Structure 1
């Protein structure tokens, strides 16, 4: 009888659950000593939210490519709704908004499912860019025409185009890694989200110098360096679950961290410009869905194209 072996995806999933259990226990022990301070309450809410996200996300990823694509399509729809909900629009934008929600989202994810890389990579930034601008002329509403179009196109680029690159990882055919794409997607999500968590922890423990106090008061140099380096080292340690060597996994993790950091910073600037603190309130301790996926929207295309260029024949 052959010994039972977990798949790379299952092993990573067990590790994530174990990490959350450890984090929950440590946070409870610290809370017993220091009490319910604002920082501890925020940390507790974040961990509870992570249990919900992991409890929903891992089973979906385990069910296969089709269900995973549907999940990310729903996430794109929700984040797009959050973005548009705090962005001023006019009646003349209805046709463009309909196209954004009910044409761009399903068409982009249909291309992901088909593995049609050529059209997937240019549909929104090329054809969508010109098509949405053309459609907006039908209303003949010239008031703030450029600003309104730019906001909608930004929303589609971030929420649909950017996020769709995460499930697209499932269709990269890498030699000697066939059938293990789900583990690579989980590796990417783990690094980008662990970076966010560790930046928060390092920032609270030793953060002194603000990176951009007006845009994001909680982001510090110490948090970025400590959290980013921690996430990158974890990425290197997990290289055996990917087609990368330890050094390659570390460098790719650094790219994920940097892109994700600027994703959070850029979208914080967008929120501030629109007079909002969070994109929504659907996830306690995290804000809206886009508050949790801002780093994914920026880092997924970077990671996807780096992997495709260097590792796909």
Structure 2
């Protein structure tokens, strides 16, 4: 009974989220940038809670730093003047250094600075590729199609792994990290997504060896992203990163795979598929 209730919540949340996402993606580059920025802020807040960040100033610095990365990508995608990534990284590192210097604690300095910098790169850097993917125009990837490919393929990997794992899963894939994830589920997720990508590429008459490789690497990367977030949650001893999405948990719970698949797909398109 509990499983049915959770599944019902997941389905309702997914339907509402998909409808909202469709509207926001097609609303234009600027509204989508604002949407990604809001998602980034919420994700950073979740990570800050896991870090037990009590300072509102530090929380604001982390959120602003992550959004700065997203904003710079928006400028790049729309051919506006932008700052080189190295300068962005230096600014963020230097601001966090000054904060930790002012609130200096010898035994915590390196650990705190590392955690803070990682959260900005992981969340801001990963989610910023949503903007890149929405605006990319290369080969068959036009009119937001690259973004939809990543969103749908990531969702299929997650869904395939969930349902196949529920039905056939016995052996845990990573029992220490996440005992509920099974080998059968991983195989199911990989083949579900691979079949989808291969079918789409054949339908569009662009199928080649690169699409075949991409079809199997993509879901593997998605699973690695999911496992990566599981490692983070286990480190902080939490079950979910938040409760903002009924049936799914937090923003990071929903976008953990996307943070890995988005940059992977963007560069695969740039180097091989575009």
Q: Structure 1 residues 185 and 221 mapped into 2: Cα distance closer, same or farther (>3 Å)? A: same
Give the aligned partner of residue 47 of structure 2: 83
3-state SS of 1:218 partner: strand
Gaps of 5+ in 2: none
Contact kept, 8 Å, 2:126 with 2:263, in 1: the verdict is yes
Match of 2:106 in 1: 142
Equivalent residues in 2 for 1:173-252, closer than 5 Å: 173-175=137-139, 177=140, 180-239=142-201, 244-245=206-207, 247-252=209-214
> Is it true that 1:61 corresponds to 2:25 in the alignment?
yes
Quick check: 1:294 aligned with 2:249? no
Q: Matches of 2:163 and 2:215 in 1, distance apart?
A: 18
1:111 corresponds to? 72
Cα 1:95–1:304 change in 2 (3 A) is: same
Larger Cα Rg: Structure 1 or Structure 2?
Answer: 1
Question: Would you say the 8 A contact 1:237–1:246 is kept in 2?
Answer: no
Cα 1:260–1:155, aligned 2, differ >3 Å: closer, same or farther? same
* Residue 230 of structure 1: how far off its partner (Å): 0.7
Task: Give the Å deviation of 1:124.
Answer: 5.7
State the SS of the aligned residue for 1:86: helix
Q: Where in structure 2 are the equivalents of 1:257-268 lying within 5 Å? A: 257-268=219-230
| Distance change (3 Å), C-alpha of 1:226 and 1:311 | closer
Which one of the candidate residues 119, 132, 142 is aligned to 1:168? 132
Distance 2:84 2:234 in 1: 31
Question: SS of 2:256's equivalent?
Answer: helix
- 2:148 partner SS: helix
Query: 1:90 and 1:66, CA in 2 relative to 1: closer, same or farther beyond 3 A?
Result: closer
1:33-81 per-residue CA deviation (whole Å, 9 max, x = no partner) reads xxxx333333222211111111211111121222222111111111111
* Alpha-carbon distance between aligned partners in 2 of 1:291 and 1:126, rounded to the nearest angstrom: 29
Residues 269 and 64 of structure 1, relative CA distance in 2, 3 Å threshold: same
The one of 248, 270, 277 aligned to 2:239:
277
CA distance in 1, matches of 2:215, 2:92: 30
Distance in 1, Cα, partners of 2:135 & 2:159 = 28
From 116, 128, 134, the equivalent of 2:92 is: 128
Are the counterparts in 2 of residues 159 and 297 from structure 1 also a CA contact under 8 Å? yes
Instruction: Tell whether the 8 Å contact from 2:229 to 2:256 is kept in structure 1 after alignment.
Output: yes
| Distance in 2, Cα, partners of 1:240 & 1:70 | 35
- Tell whether the 8 Å contact from 1:89 to 1:148 is kept in structure 2 after alignment: no
Deviation at 1:287? 0.7
Deviates more, 1:109-118 or 1:57-66: 109-118
Aligned residues: 271
**SS at the partner of 1:219?**
strand
Give CA-to-partner distance per residue, 1:146-194, whole Å, 9 cap, x none.
221222122112211111112211333314x47x241121111100111
